[in-house]
Amino acid sequence: MDLLSLPTAIAAAALAVPALLLLYFLKRRRRRVVVSTTLLWLKTIQDLQASSPFQKLRRNLLLLLQLLVLLGLLGALARPTLPGVVAAGRRVIILIDHSASMNATDVVPSRLARAKAAAVELIEGLTDDPETGAVGGAMVVSFSEAARVVEPWTTDRGRLRRAVASIEPTDLPTKLGPAARLIEPYTRGVGQGGGSGVTVYVISDGRVQDRQTVAAVGGAWRYVRVGESAENLGIVSLAARRESDDPRRVRVFARLANGGDGPVTTNVSLFVNGRVQRVVPVAVGGGEGGRAGALRFTLSVPLSAVIELRHDHVDSLEADNSAWLILTPPRRVRVLLVTNGNRLLEQAIRAAGATGVVRVSPGQYERGEGMRASSDEAEASGGDGGFDAVVFDRHSPRVRPGVNSLYFNAAPPVEGLALVGRAGGGDRTELMLDWRRDHPIMRYVSLDGVLVRGSGRLSLPGGAVTLATGQSGPAVVLVSDRGTQHVVVGFDPLHSNWPMQVGFPVFMKNVLGWLSVGGRSGHGSVVRPGQAVAVPVGRGVESLVYEGPVRVAAALTGANGAAVVAFDRVGYYAAEPELVGAWGAVGVSLLDPLESRIGPVDEIDMGGQVVAGAGEAVAARQEIWRWFVWAALVGLLVEWVVYARRLGV
Amino acid sequence: MTQVAPAQPVDQEALLSSDFVRKLDRLDVLSRKLLAGKLHGERRSKRKGRSVEFADYRPYTPGDDPRFIDWNLYARLDRLFTRLFMEEEDLSVSVLLDVSASMDWGTPNKLLFAKRLAAALGYIGLAHYNRVHFYSFADTVVDRLVNLRGRGPVGRMLGFLGSQRARGGGDLAQSCRRFALTQRGKGVVVIVSDFFDKGDLGAALRYLSPSLYDVYAIQLLSPDELDPRVGKVIGDLKLVDCEDGAATEVSVTAGVLDQYTANLRGFCRGLRGQCLRRGVSYMMSDTSVGFDTLVLRYLRERGLLR
């Protein structure tokens, strides 16, 4: 236990204790009463003194109690503290979660503010070890979807405090892996921090999405839990689809999740271009598992519209109370087909609704011939060569195309992605074992009975989404790389019976719809925090800024007339200068079931290593002067009782 | 216990009202012993005398008055016997009144109560032609009025009692010794006091020989002495003895009061024991008890009056 204001307490004690003793030992002013005789009183006093073996103690009990009360108050004045978990001379790495769920206000003012306060307390608790001479230092790292060193190793508490204060809230998902990898050199002992002597504090609500894949390497890990309540109703899913026969009629699908224990009844409003179209009451059950409430609307909307869904239930997390969907006009898709000749595939692309299918040979593609579409619309769209997507048939390009692409028995040059045994894979026939029925690309696609001969095996990079799995491994995958999406089919359809089945044209329609301009081919699309989107800006635009909850500047990609922009905060953004079309305004929606479930977890299982959580106060030095004041009050009460019992007449 | 009702001055009517006197006329002082008196009176004496009440026979000796020879007996027994008759003499009644400072205390005032009691006893004695003596004492006998007889000196008696003032500390032993030396002859002695004496009470009573005196000890205590709560003697106090000025610092708490009450009870028990050992009849009275009740009922029950 340390005393923060010991000199003050000593000075006060030097005055108060002698004063109390002086007051006690000063002759008490007694009321003078004349009695007929003191004979019986003298005898009474003698009897009382004789009958009590602890007369001295009894006589001084009040003094002892008063001294105890005084010592309690002096103790409180000395500001006693219990040491935090930061040992003297210890080096610490403070990981502060600033993901979406940390914006919850179940604790005042918010989880992030409390996390920052806990971090500051940790920093205040850093002390040098006078015995070993070790100097306490710290490093501050913020993490959400990515991790960033906010302040490298330093012993300057002022800089550390400023670094903590500079951490801004985001609406990004929580991933601890990047932070763990970032600090691994220090925790392993090869960095400046000093190795296994380092203590890592994870200040978070524990809603880590990648906790199964992250490993706590080296150092002593501590988890400081922030947050109290799980009460939150969030919109976790929003999608729209146009009617095929009437593009103006749109069906909107939404899902709400309730993380709290009790059911929640609220109103959900649907806005189209800022005007209310529907208000429906919704009851979402609570309890373990956060049961979801599904909503469906069918309405007529303009060809280009922004749909907003909003519920009016007041809860801790505001970011998931609204979601936006951008509807772009339906238009035909222009596809560049790179093949040595595949009429079946070409027909399938046309049947999927694509216009302007341009077929080039792999040699021509690599030389860059015939890749530019001729229409003005293509020019305006700003895509790579005017095409919305490129389909590679049995040809892996040397350079990654600038637009979304589809590969059959081929793979884009994405790091970590490879098609193993792609040629001459044997005559073994394989069945499709499983596929993601819930993914838009695989919607209404059945791979039952699909037989594949001589398929390759895909090795995948991190973050790849497996859409279908065959007997030898992933067969259809979706890979995102630098803002572009690539769907890779690891086998040749001509070596399977898939094209003969109804699922193939459905798959082609889905995948081309998904790939064309980020999947915005007339259906609604959502923008999530952290997601980089390519905004077609046309030629002549020198800068693009989105004004919303925060100001976001887009990076212009140059000649192709597109801008890449990523939003960290949820909200409604307006483009400056104004853009014509769907990108004039962007609604960034959380739509993340994991972030909407805000209940703080008690422990983080990091790849099998369980890090138990402790409250915010545990990390910091605890001031315990209140205990002393309580003890003094109890002492005062006892003293009063003793005094009253003596005079209890 | 701070209430002190001064006992003086007291007029005679306050000591002995005319209504009360009529009630006292029916009473007489009773001695448990047959004591020899000095003058002829209304009380049987140990001596044989000339009353009409036959007492005994004794053989005739020369010199006896031949008028008292029982000739009938001589006729039957042929021996001379003289008839003896009971003698009736007066009774000596001495009232010892404590006038120490501790008596001038309490509500009702103990000294006033004691004076009224002494006046009542004196009146009864005088009304029956007893010889009545009054002694007031503090540290010794400080004043006296002796050899009163008949109703004539009632006024002197009341004047004497009314003039008594509380003074100084009390010394019962010295006072009894002085009384024994001063008062010759046998008789009834009534001590009216609070007996708050820091000396040896047993030694004091030793001077009052049972063979000479039929002694009654009447202890008077005020209500606030019996229970200090009545006088609000509570808290951190400096208690000052009104007789010797001795101061005692005491924090009067519930426990202390309980102990005080137990000690007072023990003190009275001890006094009673001393009295029993010395053949002294003891009674204790609270001054809040009605004076009529004390005299007309309690003293008769204790055998002092009839």
Chain A positions touching B257 (Cβ under 8 A) are: 649
Would you tell me which CATH number, out of the four given (3.40.50.300, 3.40.50.410, 3.40.50.620, 3.40.50.970), belongs to the domain B12-35+90-301? 3.40.50.410
In the predicted model, what is the mean pLDDT of residues B161-165? 90
pLDDT of residue A143: 92
Q: What are the residues of chain B with a beta carbon less than 8 Å away from any beta carbon of chain A? A: 1-2, 4, 102, 105-106, 110, 194, 196, 198, 222, 225, 229, 233-243, 246-257, 259-260, 263-264, 267
Q: Which segments of chain A have a pLDDT < 50? A: 190-195, 373-383, 422, 517-521, 649
Which CATH superfamily is A333-517 part of?
Answer: Class I glutamine amidotransferase (GATase) domain (3.40.50.880)
Please give the radius of gyration of chain B, using alpha carbons only, rounded to the nearest integer: 23
What is the interface pTM, i.e. ipTM, of the complex?
A: 0.76
In the predicted model, what is the mean pLDDT of residues B193-208? 87
pLDDT of residue A382: 40
CATH number of A91-229+598-620: 3.40.50.410
pLDDT of residue B3: 41
Domains A91-229+598-620 and A333-517 share a fold: yes
A556-570, B112-126, B243-257: least confident range: A556-570
In the predicted model, what is the mean pLDDT of residues B249-265? 86
Q: Which residue of A has its CA nearest to B198?
A: A39
Residue A70 to residue A68: CA distance in whole angstroms: 5
- In chain B, CATH 3.40.50.410 sits at 12-35+90-301
Q: Which residue of B has its CA nearest to A49?
A: B256
Beta-strand runs (E) in A173-219: 198-204
Asked if A40 lies within 8 A of B263 by C-beta distance, the reply is yes
- What pLDDT band is residue B269 in, cutting at 50, 70 and 90? very high
Mutate to test the interface with A, among B221, B242, B263, B264 (most CBs of A within 10 A): B263
pLDDT of residue A610: 76
In the predicted model, what is the mean pLDDT of residues B240-265? 85
CATH top-level class for A234-329+589-594?
Answer: mainly beta
Mutate to test the interface with B, among A32, A33, A49 (most CBs of B within 10 A): A33
Quote the DSSP letter at residue A527. Answer: B
Q: Which residue of B has its CA nearest to A35?
A: B241
Residue A547 to residue B282: CA distance in whole angstroms: 112
pLDDT of residue A519: 44
H and E: helices and strands count for chain A = 13, 36
Which of A32, A47, A648 faces B263 most closely, judged by CB atoms? Answer: A47
User: Does residue B2 have a pLDDT over 70?
Assistant: no
pLDDT of residue A600: 87
The answer to whether the CB of B182 falls within 8 A of the CB of B141 is yes
Q: Which residue of A has its CA nearest to B245?
A: A34
In the predicted model, what is the mean pLDDT of residues B28-44? 59
Asked if B264 lies within 8 A of A40 by C-beta distance, the reply is yes
Q: Where are the domains of chain A?
A: 2-80+637-646, 91-229+598-620, 234-329+589-594, 333-517, 529-581
Residue B68 to residue B84: CA distance in whole angstroms: 8
| Alpha carbon of B209: minimum distance to chain A alpha carbons (Å) | 27
Buried b vs exposed e over A7-19: b needs ≥16 C-beta within 10 Å?
A: eebeebbeebeee
User: Does residue B114 have a pLDDT over 80?
Assistant: yes
Structure tokens at A483: 């803002």
Chain A positions touching B198 (Cβ under 8 A) are: 37, 39
Q: Which residue of A has its CA nearest to B253?
A: A647
Residue A171 to residue A598: CA distance in whole angstroms: 13
Q: Is the dihedral of CA B274, B277, B280, B283 positive or negative?
A: positive
Residue count of chain B, please give it. 306
